[in-house]
Amino acid sequence: METRRRTAGDILWGVGAAILLNAVMILLAVGWVAFYSLVLDPGRGTSFYEAYAGRASPIVSVVAGGPVFYLIARWVTRWRSSELPAWVATFLYLLSDLLLLATVGALLGPVGIAFAGGGILKVAGTALGVKQASR
């Protein structure tokens, strides 16, 4: 009975961590575009920055994904004393990204390639975070 409750709790923690991962990744993309528009290339119109956000967000996801997933996987694995929440969070995050890209028809092409590359780095970040937290 104890194992069953703990597993359910771990899955719920994984869902919460997936929501946290989404929030952090969105904030990083928005933060980068804000920095770009205010510091690096100010004074352009809204449509320019919207187009830039569409190009820059996949790059931000690839660059920041590994470290963000590492940190959250390490934290949640230590907190719960279980690897399950970190892997549930990673799976749910990647599944939601995959479904979103498939829905908008962006799975093939540059964004799909960025998703694949970023996915590898996110899984690697999770694996490293889980490994270090399990020591």
If the chain, 135 residues long, is cut into consecutive pieces of 10 residues, what is the mean pLDDT of each piece? Answer: 60 96 96 96 94 92 96 95 95 93 79 87 97 89
Per-residue pLDDT at 4: 39
For the beta carbon of residue 128, count every other beta carbon within 10 angstroms: 16
For tokens 């690096």, what's the residue? 40
Phi (first) and psi of residue 109, to 5 degrees: 105, -165
* Residue 3 confidence (pLDDT): 38
- Please give the residue range of the domain that contains residue 99: 2-133
Number of compact structural domains in the chain:
1
